[in-house]
Amino acid sequence: MKRIALLPPTLALLAATMPPPATVLAPSEIVAAAPGKDWVTIAPADMLVMDLARDARGVARRVVIQLLPQPFSRGWIGNIRKLAAARWWDGTSVNRVQDNYVVQWGDATEKKALPGGLAKVPQGEYESAAVSLNIIRPDTYAGNGQGGGVGFYRGWPVAFAKHGERTNGSHWPIHCYGMVGVGRDMPPDTGSGAELYTVIGQAPRHLDRNIALVGRVISGIEYLSSLPRGTGPLGFYEKPEQRVTITSIRLASELPEINRPQFQYMSTESASFTKYADARANRRDPFFIHPAGGADICNVPVPIRQTH
């Protein structure tokens, strides 16, 4: 019996029957072939490094989060930089894991005092002024066929508003898998940035513009997505011992250089990314019979690579 795979195990195996390579590269092959100039180094000051307590087998668990660029969510991101500098998260924990939805972390006691100087960020900052997008497509959540849509801005998936809405002209980041946002209470200005979550399932796009996004997990999401699901309401852990301790959260720029990870993202303005996005929407590698002719923006994840 042959090995049954969902994707071709090696391209070499198929070389004999392949049409010219330009038409059949898989997205992963386009990424592998992208020249150095199509990659952008992420500044250490724009990465949060979250170290979890070692697992039961003693394995270290590091999660790296890239923060959103200007002009998005600046108030909350400013707070997050202060919280990391104050070492506020050290000793807090992952408290909620809801299947096909989110993992959430912060202070389970909800009594830990926040450092001074945090901004109270208004609801208006869920959206920003217009930015210049690449690879614009229609989108169900941003007003399909009514002038809204989605595209990419400096490495990030971004949506823009329907014509005629009060939000006309506004742009906002998108709740794709791995995006990181700010938990809040009912009033929209109650999220400080101390309580964070990441998406571990189908993109919950109904949260767009209803809750602030601040970044995305670029490494180690499996240490969050594979945690046992919580059995309390909303997936909160019911017993304190189920929580996973956060050893520390720091900006990468605050870590000693030897312990500082380095990552790059593929420029979404590059020729490689244009090819990659097309390949994600039209799979022509040999496994596929029907190229779809389109792709949800959350099915075009921006390629990330670790360089140190």
Positions 77 through 106 that interact with its own copies (CB under 8 A): 97, 99-100, 102, 104, 106
Closest distance to its own copies from the beta carbon of 229 (Å): 4
Choose between 275 and 280: whose C-beta lies nearer to its own copies.
280
Positions 267 through 306 that interact with its own copies (CB under 8 A): 280-281, 283, 286-290, 292-296, 298-299
Positions 111 through 130 that interact with its own copies (CB under 8 A): 111-112, 114, 123, 126
How far, in whole angstroms, is CA 83 from its chain's centroid?
Answer: 20
Q: How far apart are CA 286 and CA 25, in angstroms?
A: 9
Task: For the beta carbon of residue 124, count every other beta carbon within 10 angstroms.
Answer: 11
Choose between 78 and 188: whose C-beta lies nearer to its own copies.
188
Closest distance to its own copies from the beta carbon of 55 (Å): 9
Positions 225 through 264 that interact with its own copies (CB under 8 A): 225-229, 233-234
Choose between 26 and 67: whose C-beta lies nearer to its own copies.
26
CA-based torsion, 253, 114, 242, 65: positive or negative? negative
Closest Cα partner for 159 from 146, 173, 145, 147? Answer: 173
Q: How far apart are CA 157 and CA 170, in angstroms?
A: 14
For tokens 């990419």, name the residue: 152
Q: In the Cβ-directed half-sphere of 105, how many Cα atoms lie within 13 Å?
A: 26
Q: Does 211 bind its own copies (CB under 8 A)?
A: yes
Residue of 71, 134, 188, 254 interacting with its own copies (CB under 8 A): 188
Q: Does 39 bind its own copies (CB under 8 A)?
A: no
